[in-house]
Amino acid sequence: MISSEIGKSFQLPFLSDLFIHAESEFPVLSQLIADDIPYDSKSSFSIYINHRETFTGITDEDRCLTMKRFAELTKQLSSKKNVDNIKKLGDEFRSPGHVPICIASEKPLTTRFGHTELAVSILKMAGLNPVASGCEIMGDNGKSLSKSKARQYAKDHDLCFLEGKEIIEAWNKWSQ
């Protein structure tokens, strides 16, 4: 999950846009476009990457390297001007890969209220690099924990539990 500014600095496309541009050659893509998402007009998914030093890219170690180096690269490039961000990205990463990049909307928590925008907004408010990784907490039954069970898990493990509405309220105060 990255801010729209980072997405623009690398000129990253949305996956749905790639599908639209390639559907004349691959007609199946027109049938797969995510234009019926109940919470938004299109998905925040962009490309999927692997770090070039990974083997398959799917192991925890490979994904960790990919996510860590991507976050480090975005932070490094955000403080430099006149850097060829696209070349630097290509020097370190390849696509397709196993780590999805999701791009937040240009006006997070104003026009879109997804996990990507929530994560990017928290990081911006904290003054941190707006690059995050998302995952769900799974229960013993292999399904995502309900909100009440996730809250209990956080309490049991001395973790912070925030609801989306709390993040949105904080963002609205902070971004004014």
Which is more confidently placed, 153 or 83? 153
Q: Cα(114)–Cα(106) distance, rounded to whole angstroms?
A: 13
As given in the structure block, the two tokens for residue 131 are 């690059």
Q: Positive or negative CA dihedral for 32, 36, 38, 44?
A: positive
CA distance 95 to 11: 14
Mean pLDDT to the nearest integer, 55-83: 89
pLDDT at 63 over 90: yes
The domain segmentation of the chain, as residue ranges, is: 4-135, 137-176
Considering the entire predicted model, what is its pTM?
0.89
Backbone angles phi, psi at 141, to 5 degrees: -85, 0
d(CA 121, CA 79): 19
Secondary structure of residue 76 in the 3-state scheme? helix
> Other C-beta atoms within 10 Å of 111: how many?
11
8 A C-beta contact, residue 105 and residue 48: no
Give tens-digit pLDDT for 119-135. Answer: 999 999 999 999 999 98
Least confident of 64-68, 73-77, 170-174: 73-77
- Tokens 């690099």 correspond to what residue? 129
Please list the alpha-helical segments (H only) found in 33-175.
60-78, 85-92, 115-125, 147-156, 164-174
CATH fourth-level superfamily of 4-135: DHBP synthase (3.90.870.10)
- Percent of the chain residues topping a pLDDT of 90: 74
Residue 112's DSSP bridge partners are 108
